[in-house]
Amino acid sequence: MKSWSLSELLGGLHDDIQQRLTTARKTLAHPGTKGDASEGVWLEMLQTYLPQRYRAMKGHVVDSNGDFSDQIDVLVFDRQYSPFIFQYQGQGIIPAESVYGAFEAKQSITAEQVRYAEAKLASVRKLHRTSLPIPTASGLLPPKPLHHIIGGLLTVESDWDTPLGKPLLDALKAGHANGRLDLGCVAVHGIFSCDSDGCHTASLQNKAATTFLFEFISRLQACATMPMIDVRAYAKWLVT
């Protein structure tokens, strides 16, 4: 009887993700259909393997001032403490305080796609977020500092001859701080990441999808719990 192998289990997860992304890229002719299929693969992976306190969906982010982000392919947000969310036909409207991560999903990574993803991410990070004092049995605790919203780009392949080499690093370093891509996956080749000092690194990985998933979960753990949202700041938009 064959014994269990964690390495094979994780490898199988990556192979499944890469195969489905590659199939969508090679077999679907319509760009919109191809894009929707790829987004669906990434969303399904996150919905399946992230801890249940998190949710992942496509949608927009809104703040208590009534401002909205651009449409984001993959939003990861808190569902344990978030008091509300609007969802219709697969599209979500998520309060800014609840968002932990925002990713664009594309077929291939290029300098243009890096800039595009940065602009989308900046539209999320610029939104206003509330954070109220936290009541406890010992009294009020100070408001939780706002966590950094993790942002990135998820693709199947790379258009560069050196998939994760200098052209990618140059493109990442050239971006604006508010749109900085923290973490990304090029499923066929590997992952790239950024630390708090803005130093980007890229590494070839045989199991890029699972490597990305574990690194993202680790960064989510560092964010801890979402801030205490000021629900009354949103309630002012109710029409009486």
Q: Which residues are the active-site residues?
A: 73, 104, 106
Residue 72, phi then psi, degrees to nearest 5: -115, 135
- Backbone dihedral region for residue 90 (phi beyond 0: left; psi -120 to 50: alpha; all else: beta): left
Long-range contacts of 171-177 (CB under 8 A, 24+ apart): 171/111, 171/114, 171/115, 172/114, 172/200, 173/198, 173/200, 175/114, 175/115, 175/118, 176/118, 176/122
- State the Cα–Cα distance between residues 31 and 14, nearest whole angstrom: 24
CB–CB of 50/56 below 8 Å? yes
